[in-house]
Structure formats: structure tokens, C-alpha cells
Structure 1
């Protein structure tokens, strides 16, 4: 049995900084001023405009990703954008839970998002409220990933199986990141706790069945192979990029 040694979940979440950029969560008001909450970002937009960052943050982010990776269609950019956010949500929550034995409440009314920023300055938390590890599923999957999936599906032609495959892949990626950190820093308790918590999460609705339990390869594709110069990811269900369907590029 591994002895679990927890550190404090302090008001500024500084303990998470050591885990790496994807695990960092800023607290307070960013220098550029107040940002929309995740609840705002997932709601129906007030009005549409390609350059309006805060009018429709979700569409702004997808368009920014599409331009950056030269996505051939919006659903590819939507997939990549969603997987990036899912990775951030899981990394912050699971990292804190594994390291501190509790995690900050990522209530969508408290969690603020800058769709024009990169990691780790994209997410800010208004205030830190500790939650027990038993609440990971309800807070991350139920409170963040479910509305995020609904918001993207209302704007883009992207399947729920693809989005939940992204979420499962992102969760597995967070575990791998914590395992690497634990090995490097002599903290096997952190890696063990991360694996245990993730195992429980993969039993929950939406996430169950997203990865092959033997190989940890996903059972859906994020569509990144459709990006110019892209290929298949390390955990893709395909071993090589599939051929494009007739009439598609």
C-alpha cells in the first residue's frame, strides 16, 4: 500500500504550478479584465460576429483554432478546441485531487475562460472552494463537459461519440502526465491516486467505453488526420489515416 501524502489546496492553487502548464489554474481577475464564465460561453450567443470575442466565445475559439490549423471544415476545429478544453478541465481537477486530496470547485459560474488565450492563461477561477474527490464526476463531466458538448453540437456538425472520445482521451492524457510527474519527483502516491480516480471516472456514463481497456486506444477519432499535414494521434482508433470518402477532401 502506498502512503498518500497530501499538500494543501491553497487559495491561489500554487501547488498545481509544479505539475505543468495544463494543470495550472489562475485565481482572481486577469490583467485584461473580467472574462466570460464557462456558463456564458456554453449559452446561446447574444449575437454573432466573427471578431466579437465575448459575444460568442465558443464560436470565436473554433474559428481561431480553424485558422491556426487550417482545418478543412468547422467540425474538425470544433473537435480540436473541445479536446483542448477537456484536457484543461481534467488536468486541473484530477491533478489537484491526486496531489491535494481535494480539488477546486469548477462551477461554470466561477470558472472563467479567455477564448483568445493559450495555456495556462485561458482559465481563471473567481474564488477557490474545495470539493471532495467524490465530486469529480459531477463537477467535471456533468457540470462542464456535458454543457460544452451541447454547445458545440448546437453550432457544428460533430457527433457526441467523437466529443466523448475526446474527453476520455483527455482524461487518460492527464493521468499519463501525472504519472510522469510522480515518477520524476518520487511521489508514487500521486500517480496511484490519479489512476484510481480515473478508473472510477471511466465507469461513468458518457466516458464508459470511450477507450479500449486493454490498449487505452480510443474507439472514435478526433478528425485531426483531416488537417493538412496532420496524422493519427497516438491513441487513435486508426493505425493510419483513413482515405477520404468520395467527394470529400
Structure 2
């Protein structure tokens, strides 16, 4: 499994930093990383964990918004795009999906991709049954479900809005990967990316989040991520408010 994992990791990293994962030896804790699963937990007072709270505050500062709810929504969408990309890239290019468990994946919210996430050693590949689309869902929702709970409870963001963010993030990752594959003549990989991504919209929680078009990949969501409330933000391309 280690050889397959290394091959999947290397090919996906060529697509771009969101599809890449820091690996190799070292001590993540000594470099300011913590296991990402800890960021998905709420404190005893129902507040976000320090790492997640710090990321939300950094996003708010970079966007110039004084609305924590807006920053939390966009933080979730950014992390969702990262999670989907790490699963989708190897699935399309190598027919493999990482088994990046939250209790073993390390995160430094102060860093950017690919150095924000670190798996010491070689990431394992999921081998259980369920097909490639099912394995992709298992890998992604191991992160998205607890992250969704933490953001919705700590920042009072709508459950439906956040799943719309997850859907939008998936299609965004799909577009980047699909275009990259087509530009290099990797038509089979492009179609595989489309198939496993489309399968996610057949079931909750993404089933009712919007309308997915596949030629080329495009999405019109049924909720708004709140980016329009950012000073000078405007509307996203897939926003429900766009006419």
C-alpha cells in the first residue's frame, strides 16, 4: 500500500498546491502543528477550538470583515476544498483514495497549502469495499462532518448553507482537476474525476444543494456562502443570488 500511496500522492501534487500533501519524516508538534481532529471539537462552552478560531479570525482579517459568521462560512469552504482535492486528485489520477484520518493528519492553520497539512511518512490508501466514489465520500466526510458541526454550532451558520459550501468546494476542485487532465490528454482521468464527483450529489448531504452540470463542470447552488457581505466581495459565480 505504501508504494501505491506514494504514486497517488506524487501525481496529484502536480495539479496544484490544494491537491498536494506535505509528507515525510519530522516532528509536526515541534513545528507548531496539531492533529486536525482537535480543531473539529467544541470547547466546554460551545466555542470553536483554538486552532479553528484562529483560522476564522485570520480569514476575517484578510477579508476585512467584522462578521465572524461570514468568516466562519468562508473558512469552512476553504477547508472543504482542501479536503475534497486531497481525495479527488488521487481518485482520478491513480484510482486510489488516501485514508487521511483526522486523528493522524496534522494541521497548522497559520500556513498555506501544501504546508498546512502534514502526514508524517507515506499516506495509506483506503482498501475497503465501497467503490472509488464511496471511498472518496468516506475520506472527505471524516473531516467535513465534524467540521460542519463545529462551525455551525460555534458560529451559528446554517447547516444547509455549509453543505452548499461543501458542494461548491467539490465542484471547484473538480473544475481545476478536470481542466488539468484535459489539457494533458488524460481523458480517462478527467472522466473518472467527473464520475466520482457526480456520485456525491446522488445522496445527502449534497443531493439538494444545487444543480451540477457536467459539460463542462459547472454548478448553481441553492444557498449563498455570504461572500457578498465581505466589503467589495460581490457575488460568486455559482451564487443563488446571481441572475
Using the size of structure 1 for normalisation, the TM-score is 0.84
The runs of at least 4 aligned residues of structure 1 exceeding 3 Å deviation read 28-32, 45-50
Q: Secondary structure at the match of 1:19?
A: coil
How many angstroms does 1:36 deviate by?
A: 1.3
Give, in whole Å, the separation in 2 of the partners of 1:12 and 1:113: 21
Q: What are the Cα deviations for residues 140-180 of structure 1, in whole angstroms up to 9, with x where unaligned?
A: 12x11010011112210210111100000011111111111
Q: CA deviation at 1:216?
A: 1.9
User: Gaps (5+ residues) in structure 1?
Assistant: 1-6, 241-249
C-alpha RMSD of matched pairs (Å): 2.4
* TM-superposed deviation, 1:47: 9.4
CA distance in 1, matches of 2:52, 2:7: 29
Matches within 5 A, 1:183-202: 183-202=182-201
Is 127-136 or 202-211 further displaced after alignment? 127-136
Show the counterpart of 2:176: 177
Which residue number corresponds to residue 232 of structure 1?
235
Report if the CA contact (8 A) 2:5-2:124 is conserved.
Answer: no
Instruction: Tell me the equivalent position of 1:140.
Output: 140
CA distance in 2, matches of 1:11, 1:197: 20
| 2:184 is aligned with 1:217 | no
Residue by residue over 1:112-147, the C-alpha shift from the partner in whole angstroms, topping out at 9 and shown as x without a partner, is 111111122111123411014232112212x11010
Deviation at 1:238, TM superposition (A): 1.1
The question of whether the paired residues in 2 share the 8 Å contact of 1:13 and 1:26 is answered with no
CA drift of 1:201 comes to 1.1
For 1:16 and 1:164, how far apart are their aligned partners in 2?
Answer: 25
CA distance in 2, matches of 1:45, 1:120: 28
Distance verdict in 2 for CA 1:67–1:17, change over 3 Å: same
| 1:171-196 deviation line (CA, Å, top 9, x unaligned) | 11111111111111110111100000
Q: Secondary structure at the match of 1:212?
A: strand
Aligned residues: 229
Structure 1 residue 57 corresponds to structure 2 residue 37: no
1:154-169 correspondence runs (5 A) = 154-169=153-168
Deviation by residue 1:29-73 (Cα, 9 ceiling, x = unmatched): 4596262112111113489999xxxx6101110011011101231
User: What is the aligned partner in structure 1 of residue 31 from structure 2?
Assistant: 33
1:48/1:209 Cα in 2 relative to 1: closer, same or farther (>3 Å)? Answer: closer
Distance 1:213 1:58 in 2: 30
Q: Helix, strand or coil for the counterpart of 1:194?
A: helix
